[in-house]
């Protein structure tokens, strides 16, 4: 038996499962309240101005590992996996209000690494009454555009919807 006869089917299965996992759900095609979820057209300059004036929140939905490697200082960390569990669970609105208390009445700019997960987070929070806007630019672009960077040096810091000190 040739090695390709074993490796090729396994490789195909891995690639196919990755494509299915990264494209489901097709957020850009789904609708919430009749609206298609799209990335915001707000420029990073507009985002930064609103954030500096504390009229907006930056919500980072990347994984804990990504967050620890670096994040926007003052952003709220709420991994998409946790957000999804809560948003699709019982009493979602009440539970989210406890975890994102200052978010009501404010714009939430959601970001991830490249813009895909931010769309999914927007799809979860929009029907619950949040003014959430998914950013297409991910964390690296935010940092390269002057947003303050911070890394987690102490393993004792916890992830969750509490974020970091809001000292910008």
**Under CATH, domain 27-150 is a member of which superfamily?**
Rhodanese-like domain (3.40.250.10)
Residues 111, 51: Cα–Cα separation, whole Å: 13
What CA–CA distance (Å, rounded) separates 61 from 77? 6
Q: What average pLDDT does range 33-42 have in this prediction?
A: 79
How far apart are the C-alpha atoms of 121 and 80, rounded to whole Å?
A: 7
Give the residue, 39 or 103, on which the prediction is more confident: 39
Q: What is the 3-state secondary structure (H, E, C) of 75-121?
A: CEECCHHHHHHHHCCCCHHHHHHHHCHHHCCCEEEEECCCCHHHHHH
**Which pLDDT does position 2 carry in this prediction?**
56
pTM comes to 0.71
List pLDDT tens digits, range 52-89.
999 999 999 999 999 999 999 999 999 999 999 999 88
């Amino acid at each position: 038996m040739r090695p390709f006869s074993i490796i090729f089917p396994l490789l195909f299965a891995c690639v196919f499962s990755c494509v299915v996992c990264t494209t489901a759900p097709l957020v850009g095609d789904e609708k919430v309240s009749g609206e298609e979820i799209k990335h915001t057209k707000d420029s990073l300059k507009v985002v930064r101005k609103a954030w500096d004036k504390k009229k907006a929140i930056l919500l980072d939905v990347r994984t804990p590992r990504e967050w620890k490697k670096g994040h926007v200082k003052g952003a709220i960390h709420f991994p998409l996996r946790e957000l999804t569990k809560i948003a699709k669970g019982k009493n979602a609105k009440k539970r989210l209000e406890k975890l994102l208390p200052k978010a009501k009445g404010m714009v939430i700019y959601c970001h991830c690494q490249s813009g895909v997960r931010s769309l999914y987070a927007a799809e979860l929070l929009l029907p619950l009454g949040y003014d959430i806007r998914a950013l297409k630019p991910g964390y690296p672009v935010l940092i390269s555009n002057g947003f303050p960077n911070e890394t987690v040096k102490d393993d004792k810091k916890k992830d969750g919807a509490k974020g970091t000190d809001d000292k910008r």
